[in-house]
Amino acid sequence: MRPDRYKFITCDYNLDGVSVDYSLLEYIQRVLPEGKTILELGSGEGTEQLLKYWEVISVEHDSEYAEKLTNRCIYAPLTEHKAIRNHSGSMQWYDRDILIPELEGLEYDLLLVDGPPKDTRCGIVKYIELFDADVIMVFDDLQRKADRAILNSVAGKLKKPFVTYTYQEGKPFGVINDPCTECGEPK
């Protein structure tokens, strides 16, 4: 699948290294029609790129980043949770007292797991039931061992397979409920 298949995403931006990169944006274009809704965990410069084509609801723990957003934001600071077997790092994740009522009945077509930062992501393993298990789930930052372990655990909990995408340039990412795999389209 060559980048020139993708007509509406142009590489006219310079993301900051923590944001979703071009290959991930390309992937989303491939699987998600324009105008559909993305639920994004973790906002940043990439959010503005997503907003050019899709509706985006951002979950953000940091008030500084939350205030910058022009789209709908669920501001949920991090709070402690119990340790999760096979996962180390910080045991902090978005405040469930805020998240649970906000996510209940929320409709979206793709879940993008790109936050909270670095070693604070394993909470999604514990709280994956809060999310719609049938939407496309994209996990960014699989260059990190901890994030590969998170994808592995979430897929195991949902009893679903996942695929990983690795490009020469850009960060690897993984997908559960990948429509490309299901329709047999080559990666």
Report 146-165 residues binding ligand SAM (CB under 6 A). none
End-to-end CA distance of the chain: 6
| C-alpha to C-alpha distance for 118 and 62, rounded to whole angstroms | 14
Kind of pairing between the strands at 37-41 and 173-176: unpaired
**What string marks each residue from 55 to 94 as x (binds ligand SAM by CB under 6 A) or -?**
-----x-x--x-----------------------------
| C-alpha to C-alpha distance for 68 and 138, rounded to whole angstroms | 23
Is 19 one of the binding residues for ligand SAM (CB under 6 A)?
yes
CA dist 131 → 28, 41, 99, 102, 108 (Å): 19, 11, 10, 11, 10
Between 47 and 153, CB nearer to ligand SAM = 47
Q: How many residues bind ligand SAM (CB under 6 A)?
A: 18
Work out how close the CB of 180 gets to ligand SAM at its nearest, in angstroms, rounded to a whole number.
21
Is 47 one of the binding residues for ligand SAM (CB under 6 A)?
yes
Between 16 and 80, CB nearer to ligand SAM = 16
| C-alpha to C-alpha distance for 109 and 31, rounded to whole angstroms | 10
Is 170 one of the binding residues for ligand SAM (CB under 6 A)?
no
Residues in contact with ligand SAM by the rule CB under 6 A: 16, 18-20, 40, 42-47, 60, 62, 65, 114-117
